[in-house]
Amino acid sequence: MKLVKKGDAILENVKNIHFIGIGGSGMCPLAEILHSKGYILTGSDNNESDPLKRIKNLGINVHMGHSAENVIGAELVVYSAAISKDNPELVKAAELGIPTMERCDLLGIITRKFDNVIGVSGTHGKTTVSSMITQTFLMNELDPTAVIGGRLPMINANGCAGNSENMVCEACEFVDTFLHLSPDKAVLLNIDNDHLDYFKTMDNLILSFHKFISMAKEVYLNGDDELCLKAAENINADVITFGLDSSNDYYAENIHPGKMGMCFKVCNSKGVLGELELSIPGKHNVYNALATVAVCDCAGISFEGIKNAIESFTGAGRRFERLGEFDGITLVDDYAHHPTEIEATLSAAKKLNHKNVIAVFQPFTFSRTALLKDEFIKALSIADTVILTPIMGSREINTYGISSEDIAAGLKNAICVDDFNGVVNAINEVAENGDIVITMGGGDIYKAAYMYRDLKK
């Protein structure tokens, strides 16, 4: 039995739950899970979206806009970190004495309701691997519940509510969110210098990952990553490693480019399990596939079943997501917002059959941009042309005096624009037949991609 934490009993004592921002990518799957368990839900949101349509189609009552009246009748109010403390629904809940709970706390409680929770962590690749594992479980009839950070095309959603004890959960390290979870199996893909505005030092970041994987009985670890190995020191769990080096429990041999992605043999201590031909580009996805193979092979899925699922996986939403081809120009959208991710995405694009690679980048947060400016310049220099939007500050104020022009100054062929209309105009000016245009960033740069796509349709 899992250790019950303080506050877990609340779901046993309530029936009516209200979600503030129910259409959010992180909120929607939790609502769907609770709905499947028989809870009576209501929700509110400011914006129409595909996740919100999915929620409405389940018959959940959704109010457009935030209003104090929306929480009347609720026995619990759930909100995300993006909701401000002066939100009228939160204020009214406090006045009425209705308990409130942040999304990460609810997700933690839900993970303690399942016997086989697979928590996927790491600086890069969490959404891809969570999606790959979920797809493999679904295609092999293991009926998982899943909470994913991006849209899985197979189900056109960020998660699903299954009827088994299997749960796949993306585990994000930001502000130690993943320490609210209770994984039975933990996957650690890599550790890189991100979120240092919160962690301050790499040692603190490594310690946080150490705490996360220490909660699990089984740990699936990138054995090629020295920081992952450091995080796994002195943990009391079965450790299964994956990587390119043959010293790992699962490793790749004979890696070479295929039509859409890398091809390679998958090996373990028993020998060659079989061959994989990925439908998503980049060497980093070899690691993602190996992590998936390790988890699913240990779950008892046949290699043939794993192979069929992985080879048919075309990427999660905003992970090298191909939006179409217009006048011979291929349009792709990607979530890459850290230099390591940008380098992986652009390097993968360079290996495809295109004339020029045009990167459209929206820097995300002033602190990350200031701290990693030189690394951003190095990664973006892989592209033939770079179009830069203003920095999306998100939760931050620009006390760093940093701007996109500072990145452009270090690049040979960069264009700075003021807004998404400027992005579309710049693409029209520089992109030619045979080029690939990739919009990248952790903010809302995808909107510029859709604007260009809709203009060309």
What are the catalytic residues? 126-127, 170
Spatial neighbors of 95 by CB under 8 A, at least 6 apart, are none
SS3 403: coil
Q: What distance in Å separates the CA atoms of residue 244 and residue 267, rounded to the nearest whole number?
A: 10
Closest Cα to residue 163, out of 141, 181, 182, 147?
A: 141
Structure tokens at 282: 């980049």
Provide the edge-to-edge strand list for the sheet that holds 157-160. 157-160, 145-152, 166-170, 116-121, 185-188, 218-222, 238-243, 250-257, 262-268, 271-277
DSSP 160-225: E--SSSEEEEE---GGGGGGG---SEEEE----S--HHHH-SHHHHHHHHHHHHHT-SEEEEETT-
The single residue listed with the structure tokens 């969490």 is 126
CA angle in degrees (0–180, nearest 5) for 405-411-415:
55
C-alpha closest to that of 3 among 217, 162, 299: 217
Strand 329-334 to strand 321-326: parallel, antiparallel, or no bridges (unpaired)?
antiparallel
